[in-house]
Amino acid sequence: MTLVVSKYGGSSLADARRITRIATRLAGLRRDGDDVVVVVSAMGKTTDSLIALARQITAEPEAREMDVLLSTGEIVSSTLMAMALKALGVPSISLTGAQAGIRTNSMYSRARIETIDPSRIRRELAAGKVVVVAGFQGLTAEDDVTTLGRGGSDTTAVALAAALGAGRAEIFTDVEGVYTADPRIEPKARPLREIGYEEMLELASQGARVMHPRAVEVGQLYDLPILVASSFGTGPGTLIRKETTMEAQNKARGIAHDTDVAKITVLGVPDHPGIAARLFEPLAEAGISVDTIVQNSSLQGLTDLSFTVARNDLARARTIVEPISKEIDAGGLEHDAHLGKVSVVGTGMLSAPGYAARMFRTLYEADVNIDMITTSEIRITCIISEDRVADAVRALHSAFQLDQP
Amino acid sequence: MTLVVSKYGGSSLADARRITRIATRLAGLRRDGDDVVVVVSAMGKTTDSLIALARQITAEPEAREMDVLLSTGEIVSSTLMAMALKALGVPSISLTGAQAGIRTNSMYSRARIETIDPSRIRRELAAGKVVVVAGFQGLTAEDDVTTLGRGGSDTTAVALAAALGAGRAEIFTDVEGVYTADPRIEPKARPLREIGYEEMLELASQGARVMHPRAVEVGQLYDLPILVASSFGTGPGTLIRKETTMEAQNKARGIAHDTDVAKITVLGVPDHPGIAARLFEPLAEAGISVDTIVQNSSLQGLTDLSFTVARNDLARARTIVEPISKEIDAGGLEHDAHLGKVSVVGTGMLSAPGYAARMFRTLYEADVNIDMITTSEIRITCIISEDRVADAVRALHSAFQLDQP
């Protein structure tokens, strides 16, 4: 008997017909004798509607209340899926994150799973039921509801698959898998058959919104393969798993991009130890994710320090950084709200000769100005103007021959 | 410091503006130094929408899943109310039924509260917070979510007021209080200033849908006065409390009605002991509430037994009763799906001379045919044709001079 742990996203559950369609597929698995655990997201645009509702009440809804509010979206779809299965004659039960034994820290809106007690799920599976788990949520030690951040249902599925000892987690979504670039921007983009965790992390965190990065991290931590496939199509999908160096080494695997980038530059920062901590610790405490950090060349003991945040966080980040920049006698503060990011991703790529040069030349020939550059072992990233991102993606996809298998 | 426990219904919370309006009122109470616990229903038509969603999936949604689904409606409004209070500068916290310590039995869709552990509420009150509790729901000993049945938020509020030792519970709704009859049918109906628990129970269970009957029972059990008042108007409302015999005795207090009545008659039942149990025990096990039961005059050891159920339960009730009626050699089964009910309610009324006679004469003069009659200490009820209910209510309201203070 195989244990299948799968997750379906909101667009696969957008209405009663789609829910019943997924339920029919799950019923087939159950009849074949598999144990089935399914993690569901909120239906269609539910989460957006709930956020809009909260914003009608107040411009700054409190994070704890927001988490309780948003968690209801996944609970609703879990009950509907359980009903649909039952209507097909398949015993089933819905479980909230709390009932599924998922305990998190108390970082509201981006909580991390700390422990999973799968005993209730095991009990229901043993009773022959398909177990439908509301994704995206957990409970703190104080019994308060948390959410895992956007896309957190992926994390729920991968963490449950690990806790239950499943062979892999299956993430069904509205795309055919992980693409060499965003196919909405580059029509020649192809789905990859396999990709390593690290490469996937770079693609995901750089803006290829197929999967939640934390889900990939959890998969990597437990060495649990994750299949990403379409819930509508019939393609094989992409298997995310430990790098198989033979195939993946020294090869550009995909182009990632992000159009939601804002930059803050602190000018003329005295080049002392501890300055960076004074700047970034308060941002972290405020829950603002800092992405790229670049410190420009030092000049007479002074340096310019730039970092990027999501556009949404720009105003808050400036409010936090402004007084600190004065305390440390910096020369001033600049910001740019309209930036984007484009990355070439591939294991071992940076150490191979010519990749960085080819990227910069391609952007130059496409008339794209580079604002910042950062690199990692498996990624070269350029911060560019937001309105040049699509052209840059297409130029790089072609230059790195990603349109060819 | 006074502890105020109040409940607001769905129409008082139909949109962000109304929620903020209620929050403003609660903020005023808090600023006056009161401890404030507020129980909220689902917004506007949310519960109906969720039911419609479930029915798109399956004609017969499972009760356990339905309860989890419906409980989300109250959770949503509790978070929005907490946000609205916070936006007004008032510390607040939303609690689900589970977090509020409400434990119920596991009779899904009509669970009964078994215990309340108010320690979390007390802790949050002590921290100076307004506590917003999602009404209508609780948790079984197995940590499964239950709901208390339609209108169950009233029960939540009264039970919490009792558990917390509040002086009374306040139920804010879209009417000015308990009326002498349904004002949508009898425009001359007046709100009562006071009414006894028993009278209120008869009015409520006979169809005056101001309050959930179980809430009144809980109030009576703990001798806790319940104020019913409008959340929009400024009237004094109706105080439901222990009968003050001086005022209430020997007086018709109101006309109740119900248009949702179906009747099943088992013809030619052998007049043996144990027959009634054989009929009604399976109905109870199926969770079907039987309302009026009338056994007609015995004829040669055979009797006709009639009972009423909600129209929704008629088909299921027939399916259950049919095989039993054959087993007990009854003469046959009849049913009528289009009945209604009208009652005159008042403590001690039945023992006072002339009330029953006046009721029957009034209906006769209004050309209303009486199908069944039942009485209790404080109520005379006639089952009549559904389409004659409105006329009957108006005729009785006038005949018992309820339009005059």
Which residues on B lie below 8 Å from A63 (Cβ)?
Answer: none
CA distance B249 to B43: 39
CA distance B86 to B91: 6
Condensed to tens digits (0 to 9), the pLDDT of residues B351-384 reads 666 788 888 889 999 999 888 888 777 888 899 9
Q: Which of B15, B57, B145 sits opposite A84 (nearest CB)?
A: B57
In this prediction, residue A205 carries a pLDDT of 64
In this prediction, residue A405 carries a pLDDT of 74
First to last CA, chain A: 36
Q: Which of B76, B84, B145 sits opposite A58 (nearest CB)?
A: B84
Chosen for mutation from B50, B58, B64, B78 (greatest number of chain A CBs closer than 10 Å) is B58
CA distance A318 to chain B (A): 23
| Nearest chain A residue to B132, by CA | A65
For A182, list phi and psi in degrees, rounded to 5: -65, 115
A295 contacts chain B (CB < 8 A):
no
The ipTM (two decimal places) reads 0.75
Condensed to tens digits (0 to 9), the pLDDT of residues B21-60 reads 999 999 999 999 999 999 999 998 999 999 999 999 999 8
Chain pair A-B, CB pairs under 8 angstroms? 104
Q: Do the strands B332-345 and B254-270 form a parallel or antiparallel pair, or are they unpaired?
A: antiparallel
B56 contacts chain A (CB < 8 A):
yes
Strand partners, B132: B38, B94
Condensed to tens digits (0 to 9), the pLDDT of residues A120-161 reads 999 999 999 999 999 999 999 999 999 998 779 999 999 999
Cβ–Cβ under 8 Å, residues A37 and A8? no
CA distance A228 to A6: 10
CA distance A17 to B66: 18
CATH superfamily membership of B255-399 = VC0802-like (3.30.2130.10)
Q: How confident is the model at residue A250 (pLDDT cuts 50, 70, 90)?
A: low
Taking 70 as the threshold, does the pLDDT of residue B183 lie above it?
A: yes
In this prediction, residue A299 carries a pLDDT of 57
CA distance A178 to A180: 7
Give the burial class of A293: count Cβ atoms within 10 A of its Cβ; 0-12 exposed, 13-18 middle, 19 or more buried.
middle
Which residues on B lie below 8 Å from A75 (Cβ)?
Answer: 68-69, 72
Condensed to tens digits (0 to 9), the pLDDT of residues A318-363 reads 999 999 999 888 888 999 999 999 999 987 676 666 788 888 889 9
In this prediction, residue B245 carries a pLDDT of 55
DSSP helix/strand/coil, A2: coil
CB spacing of A76 vs B76 below 8 angstroms:
no
In this prediction, residue A248 carries a pLDDT of 47
Topology of B3-174 in CATH? Carbamate kinase (3.40.1160)
Amino acid at B366: A
Q: How confident is the model at residue A298 (pLDDT cuts 50, 70, 90)?
A: low
Q: How confident is the model at residue A297 (pLDDT cuts 50, 70, 90)?
A: low
CA distance A172 to A54: 29
Write down the residue that tokens 């309201």 correspond to: B397
Condensed to tens digits (0 to 9), the pLDDT of residues B244-285 reads 654 445 578 899 999 999 999 998 888 777 777 888 888 888
| Nearest chain B residue to A143, by CA | B99
Taking 80 as the threshold, does the pLDDT of residue B210 lie above it?
A: no
Query: H/E element holding B187?
Result: none
State pTM to two decimals.
0.79
Closest CA to B147 of B68, B218, B84, B208: B68
In this prediction, residue A385 carries a pLDDT of 95
Give the start-to-end residue ranges of the domains of chain B: 3-174, 255-399
Residue B179 DSSP symbol: B
A21 contacts chain B (CB < 8 A):
no
In this prediction, residue B88 carries a pLDDT of 96
Which residues on B lie below 8 Å from A84 (Cβ)?
Answer: 57-58
Condensed to tens digits (0 to 9), the pLDDT of residues B90-119 reads 999 999 999 999 999 999 998 999 999 999
| Nearest chain B residue to A16, by CA | B57
For A201, list phi and psi in degrees, rounded to 5: -60, -45
CB spacing of B16 vs A80 below 8 angstroms:
no
* Order of all β-strands in the sheet with B137-139: B113-116, B102-104, B137-139, B145-147
> What average pLDDT does the segment B300-320 reach?
88
Q: How far is CA B104 from CA A97, A128, B62, B139, B211, in A?
A: 21, 26, 18, 6, 20
Condensed to tens digits (0 to 9), the pLDDT of residues A185-232 reads 999 999 899 998 988 888 876 655 678 888 998 999 999 999 999 987
For A396, list phi and psi in degrees, rounded to 5: -70, -40
DSSP helix/strand/coil, B362: helix
Percentages (nearest 5) of helix, strand, coil residues in chain A: 40, 30, 35
Strand partners, B309: B262, B290
CB spacing of A62 vs B16 below 8 angstroms:
no
CA angle B65–B68–B74, rounded 5-degree value = 150
> What average pLDDT does the segment A281-295 reach?
84
Q: How confident is the model at residue B124 (pLDDT cuts 50, 70, 90)?
A: very high
